[in-house]
Amino acid sequence: MAHKNQKRIEWSTRRGKVIISSFCSPDDIVSLSFIEAYTKYARYRSIVSKKETLIKAASQPDTNVTLAFTPDGKIIGFGILGYPPPGERWQRVGNRIMMEVSVIEVGRPWRSLGISKKILRFLVDHPLEERRIFYMVGYSWTWDLERISAMDYRNMLISMFSQQGFETFQTNEPNIMMRPENLFMARIGANISEAIQKQFKQVRFDLDPYV
């Protein structure tokens, strides 16, 4: 049975028909397979190249796994919005407050068609969107930079996430500070209290009482 918040669109691109579906269940994912592009390129490997990763994510509470796939069941793109793993810095903001867009990716042959924008829009179209802080971290060493510079990639991410209400925030998180092009963006839900916002700021700069 489809998730009660699932949304689905089907549209025609110049490469063919694409279906995008949010809140995909483990069963939905089992019935699909990855296109070859996710395993083909030696220089660049996708973060998620196994269906098991998507299935595991889809079984977590509140997590939104959004997939883009062809009518014959080939996954051409995906995104995951979920809670960070235990021990992550961002959990210190509060229990189930922060949710991370941990991955958003489209296979090379299907890029420049606007698929990632649609995946992101479906990811953040979440029943808890105003009661959570959604965030993303961009590490340049995970980016496919064969055809684009790191700063152009960064700017593309800023532009795409800004359209969904995300803003760039400063943080001293060591992995983000490791490279100037790395990026941290967040979207603070309208119902997030002042106290949580303050805590979020403290955690960004490692100044919260837990440290």
Partner 1 sequence: MLQERYPKEVVLTDGKEVTLRPLEEEDQDDLVRFYQELPLRERWFFKEDPCDPSVISKWVDARRTGNALGVLAIYKGRVLAHASLLRRTYGGRKHVGRLRITVSPRFRSKRLGTWMVFDLIRRAMELGLEKIQADFIVGAEDLAIEAVQRLDFVRESLIKDYAQDEKGTYHDCQIMIKHLHKEWSDF
155 makes contact with partner 1 (CB under 8 A): yes
State the Cα–Cα distance between residues 122 and 66, nearest whole angstrom.
7
Which residue, 9 or 151, is less far from partner 1 as judged by CB? Answer: 151
Other Cβ atoms closer than 10 A to 94: 16
Candidate residues 1, 12, 43, 86; the one interacting with partner 1 per rule CB under 8 A: 43
- d(Cα 12, Cα 210) in Å, to the nearest integer? 50
Interaction with partner 1 in 135-154: which residues (CB under 8 A)? 140-141, 145, 149-151, 154
Task: Check: CB of residue 82 under 8 Å from CB of residue 64.
Answer: yes
Element (H, E) at 204: helix 194-204
202 near partner 1 (CB under 8 A): yes
Instruction: Pick between residue 49 and residue 172 the one whose CB is nearest to partner 1.
Output: 172
Q: How many helices (H) and strands (E) does the chain have?
A: 7, 9
How many residues line the site for partner 1 (CB under 8 A)?
A: 24
Question: What is the binding site for partner 1 (CB under 8 A)?
Answer: 43, 140-141, 145, 149-151, 154-155, 158-159, 167-170, 172, 177, 180-181, 201-202, 204-205, 207
